[in-house]
Amino acid sequence: MNEEMNISIEDYLTIIKERLWLIGTITLATVIIAGILSFFVIKPTYEASTSIIVGKPQATTNQSAQLNSDVTMYQNLLITYSEIAKSDLVARGALDELKGNLTIDQIKAGVTVTPKTGTQILMITAKGKDPQEVFKVVNAISTSFVESTKKVYPTGGDIQVMDKAVIPLNPISPNKKLNLAIGLLLGLMISLGVVFLLEYMDNTIKTESDVEKYLGLPVLGVIPRIIEDKK
């Protein structure tokens, strides 16, 4: 069994060696395609975010005993606040502040609101193709959220912007290095598949070992190929 396995591995290596040029060509082509898509076709996506903390009104002496239960309550209220942040009311307020060409649906589609588990922090993130625009959108959303919450939920906690958004300098996607690595791996997989498929479809006999292997006939002799030098 070990001998058969060794022969099989040797055959694979021989096939790869004979068509190494094809493997290199296909792999290089996929890497080039991945590079063109990453650097020239796919537009970069930028992300800006701000964090909002949901606080608690100052506790008096009588209230201090309920501090732990109140903190838990405000943590649970983050779900309610996240729904408010994603509402049309907040998006409309942000739209009024931006005074741009965006629509409510476009603003809502590019904004993500995420409550951080186990904390009283709400993350508001905006994604888009323009770094200046995502910066303005996330700031407009956070401002509208704070103002709208005080109106629709005045009995809630004290909401304050903890970390303000900054203009993103580097895009979050595409990941050019990762795309090139994927292109390289994909090219190797495709090229090896093509090489072994071609070998499987090739039923010609090339060597004396093929005669014995496929025809079951002994090799009586080999005629050497003589190449004459042309002068």
Domain count of the fold of the chain: 2
In a domain, 102, yes or no: yes
pLDDT beyond 80 at 189: yes
Helix (H) / strand (E) element for 144: namely helix 131-152
In a domain, 28, yes or no: yes
Single residue among 103, 132, 163 that ends a domain in this structure? 163
Q: What is the pLDDT, as a whole number, of residue 3?
A: 42
The pTM (predicted TM-score) of the whole model is 0.71
Q: Cα–Cα distance between 130 and 135 in angstroms, integer?
A: 9
Closest alpha carbon to 167 in 199, 197, 139 = 139
Do 53 and 146 sit in the same domain of this protein? yes
In a domain, 63, yes or no: no
In a domain, 223, yes or no: no
Residues 6 or more apart whose Cβ sits within 8 Å of residue 129 = 43, 44, 45, 46
pLDDT beyond 90 at 153: no
Do 150 and 181 sit in the same domain of this protein? no
Q: Cα–Cα distance between 213 and 201 in angstroms, integer?
A: 17
Do 159 and 51 sit in the same domain of this protein? yes
> Token match 């650097």: residue?
39
Query: What are the φ/ψ torsions at residue 125 (nearest 5 degrees)?
Result: -125, 140
pLDDT (tens digit per residue) in 199-216: 788 766 666 666 666 666
| Tokens encoding 154 | 């005045």
Query: Do the beta carbons of residue 123 and residue 51 sit within 8 Å?
Result: yes
Q: What is the pLDDT, as a whole number, of residue 186?
A: 96
Helix (H) / strand (E) element for 102: namely none
Do 152 and 180 sit in the same domain of this protein? no
Do 188 and 148 sit in the same domain of this protein? no
CATH number at residue 82: 3.30.70.1130
Do 34 and 143 sit in the same domain of this protein? no
Q: What is the pLDDT, as a whole number, of residue 61?
A: 45
Average pLDDT rounded to a whole number, residues 145-173: 88
Do 75 and 147 sit in the same domain of this protein? yes
- In terms of Cβ atoms closer than 10 Å to its own Cβ (0-12, 13-18, 19+), residue 197 is exposed
Q: What is the pLDDT, as a whole number, of residue 222?
A: 61
Query: Do the beta carbons of residue 230 and residue 62 sit within 8 Å?
Result: no
Q: What is the pLDDT, as a whole number, of residue 102?
A: 86
Do 142 and 182 sit in the same domain of this protein? no
pLDDT beyond 90 at 169: yes
Computed over every residue of the chain, the mean pLDDT equals 82
In a domain, 152, yes or no: yes
Closest alpha carbon to 174 in 50, 51, 41, 76 = 41
Do 119 and 135 sit in the same domain of this protein? yes
Give the residue numbers spanning the domain of 105: 46-57+68-163
Average pLDDT rounded to a whole number, residues 139-147: 93
- Which letter does DSSP use for residue 60 in this model? -
Q: Cα–Cα distance between 160 and 150 in angstroms, integer?
A: 11
